[in-house]
Structure 1
């Protein structure tokens, strides 16, 4: 049974979502604020439905905190219509953004899609060895080989490479990468990414000036291409 964590301080919305989700076979956990949401994430929900307007913490900070403890998809459910709010939420690690008021059928469809994508990503991430055209990454042993020789990476270089490889082609925003590798207090330090990507490309790319595997998507972020 799929478990959904609903994070919202509006009892009416929580009740409506609980009824709808239960009726469609979901198990429902609830939290009325950000601190409770982070504690509830320890129960390993399969998907999180999150309102940004919480009484104790900014919703984007909650997303960042959740991303430190769970890879479950996060579907934002918010009355905030501004594109800046959507961008901040998605950059922090949200998977989808639904505005209030919303249609239940569309919401459930988006929820199913988020769970499907997460299941596919997890199945791929469980594969221990990833082979690119120029190098091989053993995610279990944390080793990289290129041209038959092992490549030494620093812990930070490995953390960045692992995040990109496990995403399997998904574009990761700078904010999300910084939060995953350096922590939530460094989400504006984009120069870290530039420096470490240069180092990784020098070690792994046949032509670091024209990378084939560790790619920059202008205005969006970075992705791994096998």
Structure 2
């Protein structure tokens, strides 16, 4: 095991506790004690980031927003903030998971392992030209979508949304993140168009006979959308 994990927290005892535990598991552990150092360390492309919210300088939310264009690895927020709004905000800014302090080290290790396994499977998918989810098939080279061998006509934008989310299953992306990825940073439009495209994709899946089109392209209320492997 040689995955690189960045631990970001201004409490030295917590950093040392997590670092020692993960090092014993065989991970390479990098650390940062404030937002600015975290952004700099993230540029070295860790495989996973454990990120506190209350940091000196820019907070964890700002760190996550700052790195998301360049860093695609899973981000686990680890914070004393317990409110639903805090958890939703963490997911909406690009986080993949949220744990509340005090936390179980055993659970943290399990979540790290699960996210890294998911990333390895995602990398395997990117090397393939066809993605299969139950009866739904996406041909990445042919830009075609089929439900149980029945072709579903989709536009280039619709396919790009499906492809982007399907290559990152179970990861939540905000409308803004999807818009920037599919339309581009310089696009002169509004991220609300993502919602309309999602509705059209679901309608086309339903028309083709897919019994629960929103089961694949799921809404995470207050945060965005994610692709489910199975309905």
Q: Normalised by the size of structure 1, how large is the TM-score?
A: 0.74
Please give the residue correspondences for 1:69-218 in structure 2 after superposition, counting only pairs within 5 Å. 69-130=70-131, 136-138=138-140, 141=141, 143-144=143-144, 153-154=156-157, 157=158, 159-168=160-169, 170=170, 172-173=172-173, 175=174, 177-182=175-180, 191-198=192-199, 200=201, 205=205, 207=207, 212=213, 215-217=217-219
- Alpha carbons of structure 1 residues 181 and 32: separation in structure 2 relative to 1, 3 Å: farther
Residue of structure 1 equivalent to 2:34: 33
Instruction: Answer yes or no: is the 8 Å Cα contact 2:5–2:50 preserved in 1.
Output: yes
Q: Distance in 2 between matches of 1:78 and 1:152?
A: 41
RMSD of Structure 2 on Structure 1 (CA): 3.6
Shift of 1:131: 5.3
Q: Distance in 2 between matches of 1:206 and 1:113?
A: 31
- Alpha carbons of structure 1 residues 182 and 19: separation in structure 2 relative to 1, 3 Å: same
Q: Normalised by the size of structure 2, how large is the TM-score?
A: 0.72
Q: Distance in 2 between matches of 1:49 and 1:225?
A: 23
- Alpha carbons of structure 1 residues 31 and 180: separation in structure 2 relative to 1, 3 Å: farther
Deviations 1:92-150 (A, max 9, x none): 33222222222333322222222223223332333222357677431xx4734777899
1:48 aligns with 2:45: no
Gaps of 5+ in 1: none
Instruction: Answer yes or no: is the 8 Å Cα contact 1:136–1:145 preserved in 2.
Output: yes
Shift of 1:2: 1.6
Instruction: Answer yes or no: is the 8 Å Cα contact 1:46–1:72 preserved in 2.
Output: yes
Gaps of 5+ in 2: none
